[in-house]
Chain A
């Protein structure tokens, strides 16, 4: 089965709190690509990060960091010191060979001032 699970439907935090969005995936492919996208209230989808299946190096970009662990099939996303502008729906996605793209259901993040 090929699947992306974002178990957290909604998360609410207060500004400056750290928050982690979980993503668990299933695939039999050995080569695949993982992504995070942000969908703010305006509706567009904004690319955040891409990870190849053979690159387990974690990444930090400003307040954002990503933890990729093949052993647990997880690709989690942490926002440090959250801000109101981080309020959005965040999607985790898996792309297999032939562009078979599977998006998770999304996690809606509310950051309150």
Chain B
């Protein structure tokens, strides 16, 4: 079975540009999570969805960040405008409702904002 798919795997952009990260969860999973990993702050939960509905976005750092899940098989995390301090690895994860705490992670998107 395919795992969580993220694209792009690497993104280099200039400050002020819009960045869109994409995620396809494991088929049949009800929960989707977005995380950010930096050297300074480690792994942080940004937002999570249940059945395509955002449940908790308290980890989203600023209004420049937004996330959507238009259907069960696709989610986006958008940064507009991007800043150098947004440089990080962004992970998407998904889980099944009956064992919702066990999250399976995608390969991550490494973002560099110049």
Contact = CB atoms under 8 A, between A and B. Distances in A.
Interface residues of B, number: 23
B42 A95 contact: no
The listed residue with most A CB atoms (<10 A of its CB), out of B45, B48, B106, is B45
B104 interface: yes
Contacts of A62: none
Interface stretch (A10-18, A39-47, A71-79): A39-47
Nearest to A106: B42
Interface residues of A, number: 21
Interface of B: 31, 33, 42-45, 48, 55-56, 89, 91, 93, 99-108, 110
Interface of A: 33, 35, 37, 42-47, 50, 91, 93, 95, 98-101, 103-106
